[in-house]
Structure 1
Amino acid sequence: MHKKSEDLDDSIGQIAELLDGLLPNRLADGYASFLRQGECSEEDAVEYAGSAECLVELINRGLVHRVLDGDVTTLRPTDPTLAFRDIIHDLQERLTKSSGQLINAHNRLNGIQRAFSRLVFEQDPEEAVQILTDPQKILSLSLSLINSAQSDFLGLHTWRFDIPLRKEDSAPPPLGVTSRKVRCRSIYSTEYFDNEVGYHIIQNSIAEGEEVRIIRNLVMKMKLVDEDAAMLPLTPSGASGVILIKAPVVVKALRHYFELLWARAAPVTSSSGAMPAPMPGQPNAPSELQLQLVEMMALGLKDESIANRTGMSLRTVRRHISTIMEMLSAETRFTAGVLAAKHGWIK
């Protein structure tokens, strides 16, 4: 009997803990007291409940109910599985109401932001759109943008320059940005793969934690921070100046454009592991692009599929494959795959 009593007390204690925050303490204690005592008379019920007012509230909440046996009326605690239904229902209603209030507040805040943005644009357009032509100010702005990123820093890179690109011009995301978990993503035009400097820039960016993809016919350069600001060149090369856009609707549209390109672009991975850092221009050394094409050939992909994956034209793909087979002295694709594996070109 002693063991059963302890088990009962433990169960009632657990019920009391579960009721914490769902019921006022006086009601939770009163209900627990009824569970311990079981069925009782009207007189004893007031004592178990703690007060007549508390007893009335326990009855009204369905935690205690009256039982009529002939002419005698007693009170009995309601089974927890039934008693808690109303409590859970009330809790769900409160959560639904709170959720609705949060959604409403969020919508109102969005409306306030849109109204404020329109007001700023109407009263001071320079705050929404700025044009910069001074090289030092553009450099300072670029650094300021990437260092202000909280979640995303995005970039589009075309192969258009007024001054030839150098390896020193490589500018991967600062360590402070990647260390705070900002996702840095860049899309490069396929011309970067056919140039030693472009190859170096892409590999350097990947090594610093940036996600890189390539695509054919990239039409413009761009830098974009979160959904707050975008920087676009005034000319295709960007040498004449840039335009800084903070208008939310425009920035959001540019972000959507980037995501569409990202979905179509082909992923690029580090060359480490494929070969001991092969570089374009070295005798008999395949480029990173050629290594990727060899892997696709080994998977049995047709030229059309390879073109779709890399963003290159079908003619360019076939030209590269022809070069690869010449490098391997292979007459068939099957032979090329065997020789590529033998030379360590395939991971």
Structure 2
Amino acid sequence: MSTSTKPIIAIPMGDPAGIGPEIIVKALHNPKIYEVCSPIVIGHRDVLEKAMQVTNVLLDIHEIKDSSHGKYEYGTIDIISLNNIHVDSLEMGKVQAQCGQAAYEYVETAVRLALHGKVSALATAPINKESLKAADVPFIGHTEILAALTKTDDPLTMFEVRNMRIFFLTRHLSLKDAIATITKERICDYLIRCDQALQRLGVNKRTIAVSALNPHGGENGLFGTEEIDEIVPGMQMAQERGVHVVGPVPADSVFHHALNGRYDAVLSLYHDQGHIAAKMTDFERTISITNGLPFLRTSVDHGTAFDIAGKGIASSVSMEEAIILAAKYAKNFQFSHQ
């Protein structure tokens, strides 16, 4: 892929019964998107046309078979359309097996394009866990699908909002199970990988803060010993490997300091610890980045919003930010044509 051209960003449409199609057409109605990249939707033409009707967005649709055939002009949506939805039976805002299967196939197609150097990055729209299950798709979400399709072991999830970056030691686990996975070996491994991910994103001098698990960092064992037994030893192991890491910093202050520039990233120990911090900072502009894959993937950090799907009222800010962030970082990822 020529470095002289704008990056081609693949946008899998997500669950057709959710807000994905609506926020995509709204996002691609923003000329700024075309200033920074060449977007291509992987989805279903008829669903996209329905989304334009409910959002009152008037754009041309250019159906293509390969990313090299795109016009990539503002006013036109380039789409690789998969004939995998019976639009007459599509019910907006409802869990449907055909939608779960279609959403999976959109991601699968986008991954194939990325692995063959046809697109620079992925910016994904939301999928629905229940719809995937109804379709017997054996994955709980995007990260797990991407890991399987690329044969990647345990990809890293990172949030970026404003100038704050948050990595997650654990994702979809109960709090009890998440705490059980906090070992010094895992802490060390993740810190090394977080450092490598930041370097790949172009962050040269890197300081990573580890969030504490217990109140006030455990107060030397008064409120829990995980910091003493596992977290600090894991940090020391990473420091010996050259990672600049500080902490553990109490969770009630570490994200505030990161937002103000003291740290380049924070390692959150469990799902809600980092999610709350990011979404309270700016819900719509919290973007998820999956690191460790052979290519870059960004995503909106909200769900399919079945309660408002089909009404044309969903905000496209997060989708726009995900595409723009994919374009921003795409140049740091090298692809080889296969």
User: TM-score normalized by structure 2?
Assistant: 0.23
| Structure of larger gyration radius | 1
Greater fraction helix: 1
